[in-house]
Every structure is written in structure tokens, then in C-alpha cells.
Amino acid sequence: MAYSLKGLYPLRIEKGMIVPDSIARAVGERGLRGGGIIAVGGLSYAEIGVYDRSEKKYHVSVYEAREDETLEAAPIVGNYLVTSRGHISVHLHANLAWRRDRVAGHLVRGVVDPFLEVFLLEVGDVVREVFFHRDT
């Protein structure tokens, strides 16, 4: 089944802000209910998790840019939803590249530097209905 896009919300996240927290805050401030996320830009710090299905937990690694580097988001994608209890749940995956390495996985936490250009693609409460496993 196809759903209509209810709105496209551009967002600039500034240096030093934390993701996914800043995205969740923007979702709440705009009264959004559920949708997709696309972002490009940079981070100075990232916690990237890879899910271990047998242990049912994320194994998280930390990546930090040197002073002359940026962890280039190429891109960060994901979704957001508001649970039936009113909690804003943001799920992000990142592909990051810098001179020394590349990494991809679940973006647990990141520090923005210099900025992120984000689009929030609102479709509504149907996201919670489809991704019911996150409605906790």
C-alpha cells in the first residue's frame, strides 16, 4: 500500500549538537508523527552499532575524527515515529567515510561537525503501525 507524503521539512543541525537527540527534538517541535530521514554532512564523533542476533544486542564501536578530519555522512538514513505513549523514537543508520577509514551501521550517537543537512519526510502515524515492534 502506498501512503502520501504529508510534508517535507528541511533542517540544519549545527556543530556540537547530538544526533539522534536533535532530530527527535525537531520532530517534537514540528508536531510530526512518523516518517523518513535523509541527512548529509559531517560528524566529529560517532558511536556505530552492529546488531548481534544471537546475543540480541548491539556491539558498539567509537570513531573520532582527528582535528583535520570530518566523518563524512554519506548518507545517514532512517525513520522516526511517535509511540502510543508519546515517546519519539528515531532509528538511524550511517555510512561514514574519512581519510583513514569507512564504517557503516546503526548510529547510536553522533556529534555534529560542521553541520548536518537533514530532510524529514512526514507520512504520519502509519509508520508506528507498520513498525509496531518499536511501539514501546
CATH number of the domain that residue 114 is part of: 3.30.1330.80
How many domains are there within the chain? 1
Instruction: Calculate what percentage of the chain has a pLDDT beyond 90.
Output: 96
Q: Which domain holds residue 103?
A: 7-124
- Find, among 50, 54, 45, the residue nearest to 105 by Cα: 50
Quickly state the pLDDT bin for 39 (edges 50, 70, 90).
very high
Using one digit for the tens of pLDDT, what is the confidence trace for 49-70? 999 999 999 999 999 999 999 9
Does residue 129 belong to any structural domain of this protein?
no
Whether residue 1 has pLDDT greater than 90 = no
For 10-45, the three-class secondary structure string (H helix, E strand, C coil) is: EEEEECCCEECHHHHHHHHHHCCCEEEEEEEEEEEE
Determine what percent of the chain is predicted with pLDDT higher than 70. Answer: 100
The residues, ordered by sequence, that sit 6+ positions from 2 with a Cβ below 8 Å of its Cβ are none
User: Per-residue pLDDT for 85 more than 90?
Assistant: yes
